[in-house]
Structure 1
Amino acid sequence: MRKIFSKWIDRYFSDEEALLLFFLLAGSLVIILTLGKALAPVFAGIILAFLMQGGVNRLRQINIPHLLSVILVFLAFVGGLASLILIVMPLAWKQSVNLFNELPGIMSEIQSVLLLLPQQYPEFISEERVLELIDLAATELSKMGQLIVTFSLNSITSVLALLIYLVLVPILVFFFLKDGASITRWWVSFLPEKRDMMSQVWNEMDDQIANYIRGKAIEIIVVGVVTYITFFFLGINYAALLGILVGLSVLIPYIGAALVTLPVALIGFFQWGWGNEFMYLMIAYAIIQALDGNVLVPLLFSEAVNLHPVAIIVAVLVFGGIWGFWGVFFAIPLATLFKAIVSAWPKAKQVVQEESSV
Structure 2
Amino acid sequence: MRKIFSKWIDRYFSDEEALLLFVLLAGSLVVILTLGQALAPVFAGIILAFLMQGGVNRLKQLNVPHLLSVVLVFLAFVGGLAALLLIVMPLAWRQSVNLFNELPGIMSQTQSVLLLLPERYPEMISEERIRELISLAATELSQMGQWVVTFSLNSITNIIALLIYLVLVPILVFFFLKDGASLANWWVSFLPEKREMMTKVWVEMDDQIANYIRGKAIEIIVVGAVTYVTFVFLGINYAALLGILVGLSVLIPYIGAALVTLPVALIAFFQWGWSSEFMYLMIAYGIIQALDGNVLVPLLFSEAVNLHPVAIIVAVLVFGGLWGFWGLFFAIPLATLFKAVVNAWPKVQQVGVEESGT
TM norm. shorter chain > 0.5? yes
What amino acid is aligned across from residue 248 of structure 2 in structure 1? Answer: L
What amino acid is aligned across from residue 174 of structure 2 in structure 1? Answer: F
* 1:232 aligned residue: 232
* 1:51 aligned residue: 51
In structure 1, the residue corresponding to 2:38 is in which secondary structure? Answer: coil
The alpha-carbon distance between structure 1 residues 354 and 12, as it changes in their structure 2 partners (threshold 3 A), is farther
Give CA-to-partner distance per residue, 1:165-204, whole Å, 9 cap, x none: 1010000000000000000110000000000000001111
What amino acid is aligned across from residue 144 of structure 1 in structure 2? Answer: M
Deviates more, 1:205-214 or 1:146-155: 146-155
Counterparts in 2 of 1:109-120, with a 5 A limit? 109-120=109-120
* 1:84 aligned residue: 84
The alpha-carbon distance between structure 1 residues 35 and 106, as it changes in their structure 2 partners (threshold 3 A), is same
In structure 2, the residue corresponding to 1:346 is in which secondary structure? Answer: coil
Partner Cα distance (1:26, 1:128) in 2: 52
Give CA-to-partner distance per residue, 1:104-163, whole Å, 9 cap, x none: 000110111111122222222222222111111111111111111112222222211210
Partner Cα distance (1:132, 1:121) in 2: 17
Counterparts in 2 of 1:25-104, with a 5 A limit? 25-104=25-104
Deviates more, 1:121-130 or 1:265-274: 121-130
Partner Cα distance (2:55, 2:69) in 1: 8
Q: Does 1:164 align with 2:164?
A: yes
Deviates more, 1:192-201 or 1:113-122: 113-122
| Root mean square deviation of aligned Cα | 1.3
Partner Cα distance (1:123, 1:344) in 2: 59
Structure 2 unaligned residues grouped into runs of 5+: 354-358
Give CA-to-partner distance per residue, 1:259-303, whole Å, 9 cap, x none: 000000000000000000000000000000000000000000000
Deviates more, 1:120-129 or 1:133-142: 120-129
* 1:128 aligned residue: 128
What amino acid is aligned across from residue 328 of structure 1 in structure 2? Answer: L
Partner Cα distance (1:301, 1:282) in 2: 27
The alignment's TM-score, normalised by the length of structure 1, stands at 0.97
Deviates more, 1:282-291 or 1:146-155: 146-155
What amino acid is aligned across from residue 138 of structure 2 in structure 1? Answer: A
* 2:285 aligned residue: 285
Aligned residues: percent identity?
87
* 2:147 aligned residue: 147
In structure 1, the residue corresponding to 2:154 is in which secondary structure? Answer: helix
What amino acid is aligned across from residue 323 of structure 1 in structure 2? Answer: W
Deviates more, 1:234-243 or 1:147-156: 147-156
Q: CA deviation at 1:354?
A: 9.7
In structure 2, the residue corresponding to 1:274 is in which secondary structure? Answer: coil
What amino acid is aligned across from residue 216 of structure 1 in structure 2? Answer: K
Structure 1 unaligned residues grouped into runs of 5+: none
Deviates more, 1:155-164 or 1:101-110: 155-164
Partner Cα distance (1:310, 1:106) in 2: 37
In structure 2, the residue corresponding to 1:316 is in which secondary structure? Answer: helix
What amino acid is aligned across from residue 241 of structure 1 in structure 2? Answer: L
**Number of equivalences:** 353
* 2:198 aligned residue: 198
Give CA-to-partner distance per residue, 1:46-83, whole Å, 9 cap, x none: 00000000000000000000000000000000000000
What amino acid is aligned across from residue 131 of structure 1 in structure 2? Answer: R
The alignment's TM-score, normalised by the length of structure 2, stands at 0.97
What amino acid is aligned across from residue 296 of structure 2 in structure 1? Answer: L
Partner Cα distance (2:15, 2:190) in 1: 18
* 1:258 aligned residue: 258
Partner Cα distance (2:250, 2:73) in 1: 25
What amino acid is aligned across from residue 65 of structure 2 in structure 1? Answer: P
What amino acid is aligned across from residue 35 of structure 1 in structure 2? Answer: L
Deviates more, 1:120-129 or 1:242-251: 120-129
* 1:14 aligned residue: 14
Give CA-to-partner distance per residue, 1:226-266, whole Å, 9 cap, x none: 00000000000000000000000000000000000000000
Deviates more, 1:238-247 or 1:153-162: 153-162
* 1:322 aligned residue: 322
Q: Does 1:138 align with 2:168?
A: no
In structure 2, the residue corresponding to 1:125 is in which secondary structure? Answer: coil
What amino acid is aligned across from residue 19 of structure 1 in structure 2? Answer: L
* 2:335 aligned residue: 335
What amino acid is aligned across from residue 340 of structure 1 in structure 2? Answer: A
Structure 1 runs, 4 residues or longer, greater than 3 Å off: none
Q: CA deviation at 1:87?
A: 0.2
Q: Does 1:269 align with 2:302?
A: no
Partner Cα distance (1:228, 1:30) in 2: 40
